[in-house]
Structure 1
Amino acid sequence: MDLLLIIKAIILGLVEGLTEFAPVSSTGHMIIVDDMWLRSKDFLGKYGANTFKVVIQLGSILAVVVTFKDRFIDLLGLGRVFNKNSIKSGGRLKLTQVIVGLIPAGIFGVLLEDYIDEHLFSTETVLIGLVIGAVFMIIADRFGPKNPKIQSVDQITYKQAFTVGLIQCLSLWPGFSRSGSTISGGVLLGMSHRAAADFTFIMAVPIMAGASFLSLVKNWQYIELSALPFFIAGFISAFVFALLSIRFFLKLIDRIKLLPFAIYRIVLAFIIYIVFFL
């Protein structure tokens, strides 16, 4: 196993872990990564870039599960099995509310998957998504209530869950960002930034896990014994950095809000424009 490939796997896992759940668009970052490494023959031809992306994404998903383990135990009704008390804070978020939030993007994602893959996965569309998504985040910070009534995911209603799910459909446009759209939507609906972020991360697990599983099945042939150190390095890297990123983000989001991430997205779009078009 080439040591350089292991180092590449760790760096790519770092990029995935730090950007997947922050509202900065992991797709925008992966475009740069694709151009640097994933399209190279040694990487793509031998192991399959798509398979590797799925594997490191699974590392990020595991980080969310670990961070919200008590919440997921409660949602699945497994508190007694693990000797955990149910989470109580002005009610309790229900699994059915999460499912309601998943329905819109699930339906549109299936219906539009081929169209998105064929027509929207380009540098130009990602640039548009980065900038428009940043504007949406700025609007949320500007016009969201100063003293939001919903301070916890346990206070979210079915209507709000469904509406956030509808807004999440914006993230089907590459570069818009799942967390950027849903957190912004939640804030505009009267949630605190932290409550909106918690709901976003909880909803992300079944969506990402399902999509990753399907993709993994399609690309299973690339996972060979000789490639395991490479995949494992990327998986662990993505897990560790996603875990750090999520915990750091959740501690700060109510204080710094979305504006710094919006500015970063605009700067990233500018960099991508220079790299690819000038």
Structure 2
Amino acid sequence: MDIVLLLKAAVMGVVEGLTEFLPISSTGHLILTSTLLGLEGEKIKVFEVVIQTGAILAIVSLYMQRLLQTVVDLPHEARAQRFTGNILLGFFPAALAGVLFIDVIKGVLFNPLVVATSFIAGGVVMLWVEARQVRQPAQRIDDVDTVRWRDALAVGLIQCLALVPGVSRSGATIIGAMALGFSRRAATEFSFFLAIPMLFGAAAYDLFKHRALLSVEDLPFFAVGLVVSWASAWVCVKWLMRYVASHTFVPFAWYRIGFGLLILVTAYSGWVNWTP
């Protein structure tokens, strides 16, 4: 395997791991990075989905004790049953919408104007929600164990917006949850847990759908991207949970707005092809 190609896989893994759980859209950053690295084709699109698995494994490893305890307690403990039910309820709407509409979304919505608009609009909504937090600081939900089924379903419906390119799954779920009365920390953790079935499911579906494209020779390339994605996501999640304890998402909002403007400039200058 070409060492340069493995280095490119590592760079893509770093970008995926650092952007998957921040509210800035990993997809947009992966498109820009793959263009800069000269990585193109259907196999690269599968690779981008698969390395999400590495990022999700970071969540699993960081919350392993919580997840294992939930499995042990599930048959007889109401808290574990409520938590599991809420995650499945939040997962279902976007999973169903993804299976039904993903090809249409990719064919119709994945263009520079939509991607840029999603970035900018997401940044504006983020600024509005953070300003609202200042005016109305009290939250109904300060812990993922106190989430009600209606809250979980509402966040799950909001997660469907992430099917629109540029919206960001973590951005939609975190900011949507905060708008519904979650604390910043509870919204962030609930978004993490929702990502586990969502991204594992997306990776499994995409691998099965495009299995004819892959061969044993691709294993080192995919393995490097996945491992590096796990390591960088692990660092990012640890940092993010410390960050939300005492900071707002306002810097990410302005970053999204700036990135949206960058998309418009690069797309209409012909520098980056923002179509998947």
Look up the match of 2:117: 128
1:159: how far off?
A: 1.1
CA distance in 2, matches of 1:49, 1:78: 40
Taking the aligned partners of 1:172 and 1:231, their CA distance within structure 2 comes to: 24
Does structure 1 conserve the Cα–Cα contact (< 8 Å) formed by 2:94 and 2:159? yes
Residue matched to 2:256: 265
Match of 2:219, as an amino acid?
L
RMSD: 2.2
Tell me: CA distance 1:57–1:73, structure 2 relative to 1, closer, same or farther (3 Å).
same
In 2 relative to 1, CA 242–87 (structure 1 residues): closer, same or farther, beyond 3 Å? farther
Which residue is 1:171 aligned to? 162
Between 102-111 and 192-201, the greater mean CA deviation after superposition: 102-111
Choose which of 41, 46, 49 in structure 1 pairs with 2:44.
49
Give the Cα–Cα distance (whole angstroms) in 1 for the partners of residues 87 and 168 of structure 2: 19
CA deviation vs aligned residue, 1:189-217 (integer Å, no higher than 9, x gap): 11111101111110111011111101111
Go from structure 1 to structure 2 and tell me whether the alpha carbon gap of 1:96 and 1:166 turns closer, same or farther (over 3 Å shift): same
Q: Is the CA contact 2:83–2:144 (under 8 Å) kept in the aligned structure 1?
A: no
Shift of the alpha carbon at 1:106? 2.4
Task: Describe the shift of the 1:3–1:112 C-alpha distance in structure 2 as closer, same or farther (beyond 3 A).
Answer: same
Q: Tell me what 1:75 maps to.
A: 70
Tell me what 1:83 maps to. none
Structure 2 counterparts to residues 1-278 of structure 1, below 5 A? 1-37=1-37, 39-40=39-40, 44=41, 48-77=43-72, 93-144=82-133, 145-278=136-269
Q: Which runs of 4+ in 1 moved over 6 A?
A: none
Structure 2 CA distance for partners of 1:97 and 1:185, relative to 1, 3 Å: same
**CA displacement, residues 120-166 of structure 1 (integer Å, 9 cap, x when unaligned):** 12222111110111111111111133132321101111111111111
In structure 2, runs of 5+ residues without a counterpart are 270-276
- Calculate the TM-score normalised by the size of structure 1: 0.88
Amino acid paired to 1:98: I
Structure 1 residue runs of 5 or longer lacking an equivalent are 81-85
Q: CA deviation at 1:55?
A: 2.5
TM-score w.r.t. the length of structure 2 is 0.89
Read off the aligned partner of 1:238 and give its amino acid letter: S
1:79 Cα deviation (Å)? Answer: 8.2
> Offset of 1:56 from its aligned partner?
1.1
Per-residue CA deviations over 1:77-126 (Å, capped at 9, x if unaligned) read: 3689xxxxx897xx985211111212222232233222102101222211
Q: May I ask how many residue pairs the two structures share in their alignment?
A: 266
CA distance in structure 2 between the partners assigned to 1:152 and 1:243 by the alignment: 21
Q: Per the alignment, do residues 225 and 108 of structure 1 end up closer, same or farther by CA in structure 2, a change over 3 Å counting?
A: closer
CA shift, 1:268, in A, is: 1.2
SS at match of 1:76: helix
Aligned identity (percent) is 35
